[in-house]
């Protein structure tokens, strides 16, 4: 019961974080574009995410007549469930779960995420939704290959697959200083993996009419929206653990340094969206197969022998 209660508490915190992260994104984008963001609801627009959520939840649930209804309904539920399951890896002092093989758990869950997107696009029976889902799946699967190799580098340096131990292994020297080019590659990979601008081809409005979620509204859209932003926050947390961790961060009493680091990475997602135009799809796919994959493999082939040589 304690484990279940702790997990439910974590999920509630994640959903609240997603709600107010959307407010941060809208405020951040507005000031970067020299305009005002949400400022009418309540004090400084702070209740705006709650108002938006209530509005979406009370809207009528509509599904296409020709859709595969059971799959159409199940796809958003699957996406949100997988996004929340990843948060079991959060390295908190009060965590109820301890994953010795956290890397494998992350790769298994993240690999399943594409099924929610593919099912949503296929079950809508819309060519726009299907095209958007196929683009998103191809993009996600391609970047998972280089992401897994980059993920392995800090784990090899820490000699563990456990995120708790990766934090402790860094001590006072963070891995981002030792793996600076790789950490930048990791950030770009996170952008592509979460379908965020400038790599948001799954939602390219000018050519795909919002992508795989075009037929979703009300509760279905809310679940897809929550899963997308929960993944963004999780990738920010994972980036903080892998490249900005450290013994001081882990032993800090309230984990507030880790929270600030996650917020910094998450805000970088917003900054990238405001700063760069949308990339071209063929260039994005060439980037991972012709640049990131060879570099990550080369670093892996160099790092592993060095660790075996000097670690022994």
d(CA 57, CA 101): 37
Residue 22: CB atoms within 10 A of its CB come to: 18
Q: Quick check: 204 pLDDT over 80?
A: no
Residue 170 has pLDDT above 90, yes or no: no
The model's pLDDT over 96-155, given as tens digits with 9 standing for 90+, comes to: 566 788 888 899 998 898 999 999 999 998 888 888 888 889 888 999 988 999 998 888
**Under 8 Å between Cβ of 99 and 90:** no
User: Domain locations in the chain?
Assistant: 62-310
pLDDT for position 30: 92
Residue 279 pLDDT? 84
> For 276-285, what is the mean pLDDT?
87
- Reply yes or no on whether the pLDDT at 2 is more than 70: no
pTM of the model: 0.90
180 or 235: which leads in pLDDT: 235
Q: Give pLDDT, residue 227.
A: 93
Binning pLDDT at 50, 70 and 90, where does residue 75 land?
very high
Give the count of alpha carbons within 13 A of 192, CB side only. Answer: 28
Written in H, E and C, the secondary structure of the chain is: CHHHHHHHHHHHHHHHHHHHHHHHHHHHHHHHCCCCCCCCCCCCCCCHHHHHHHHHHCCCCCCCCCCCHHHHHHHHHHHHHHHHHHHHHCCCCCCCCCCCCHHHHHHHHHHHHHHHHHHHHHHCCCHHHHHHHHHHHHHHHHHHHHHHHHHHHHHHHHCCCCHHHHHHHHCCCCHHHHCHHHHHHHHHHHHHHCCCCCCCHHHCHHHHCCHHHCCCCHHHHHHHHHHHHHHHHHHHHHHHHHHCCCHHHHHCCCCHHHHHHHHHHHHHHHHHHHHCCCCCHHHHHHHHHHHHHHHHHHHHHHHHHHHHHHHC
7-11 LR contacts (CB < 8 Å, sep 24+): 7/88, 7/96, 7/97, 10/87, 10/88, 10/90, 11/84, 11/87
Residue 79, pLDDT > 80, answer yes
pLDDT at 280: 85
Split at pLDDT 50, 70, 90, the class of 312 is very low
- Kindly report the average pLDDT of the chain as a whole number: 84
Q: Tens digit of pLDDT for each residue in 6-62? A: 778 888 889 999 999 999 999 999 999 999 888 888 888 889 999 998 998 898 888
Q: Is the pLDDT of residue 95 over 90?
A: no
Residue 86 vs residue 308, higher pLDDT: 86
């Amino acid at each position: 019961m304690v484990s279940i209660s702790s997990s439910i508490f974590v999920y509630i915190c994640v959903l609240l974080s997603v709600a107010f992260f959307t407010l941060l994104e809208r405020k951040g984008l507005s000031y970067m574009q020299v305009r005002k963001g949400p400022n009418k609801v309540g004090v400084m627009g702070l209740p705006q995410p709650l108002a938006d959520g209530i509005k979406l939840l009370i809207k009528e649930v509509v599904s296409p007549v020709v859709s595969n209804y059971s799959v159409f309904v199940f796809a958003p539920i699957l996406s949100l469930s997988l996004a929340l399951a990843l948060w079991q890896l959060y390295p908190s002092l009060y965590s109820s779960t301890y994953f010795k093989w956290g890397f494998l758990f992350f790769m298994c869950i993240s690999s399943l995420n594409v099924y929610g997107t593919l099912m949503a696009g296929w079950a809508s029976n819309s060519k726009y939704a299907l095209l958007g889902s196929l683009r998103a799946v191809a993009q996600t699967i391609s970047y998972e290959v280089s992401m897994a190799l980059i993920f392995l580098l800090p784990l090899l340096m820490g000699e563990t697959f456990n995120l708790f131990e990766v934090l402790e292994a860094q001590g006072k020297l963070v891995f981002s200083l030792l793996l600076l080019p790789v950490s930048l590659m990791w950030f770009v990979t996170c952008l592509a993996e979460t379908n965020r601008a400038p790599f948001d081809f799954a939602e390219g409005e000018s050519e795909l009419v919002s992508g795989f979620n075009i037929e979703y509204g009300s509760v279905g859209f809310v679940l897809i929206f929550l899963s997308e932003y929960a993944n963004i926050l999780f990738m920010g947390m994972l980036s903080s653990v892998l490249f900005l961790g450290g013994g001081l961060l882990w032993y800090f009493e309230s984990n507030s340094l880790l929270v600030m680091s996650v917020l910094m990475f998450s805000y970088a997602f917003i900054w990238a969206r405001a700063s760069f135009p949308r990339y071209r799809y063929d260039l994005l796919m060439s980037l991972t197969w012709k640049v990131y994959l060879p570099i990550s493999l080369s670093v892996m082939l160099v790092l592993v022998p060095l660790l075996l040589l000097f670690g022994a």
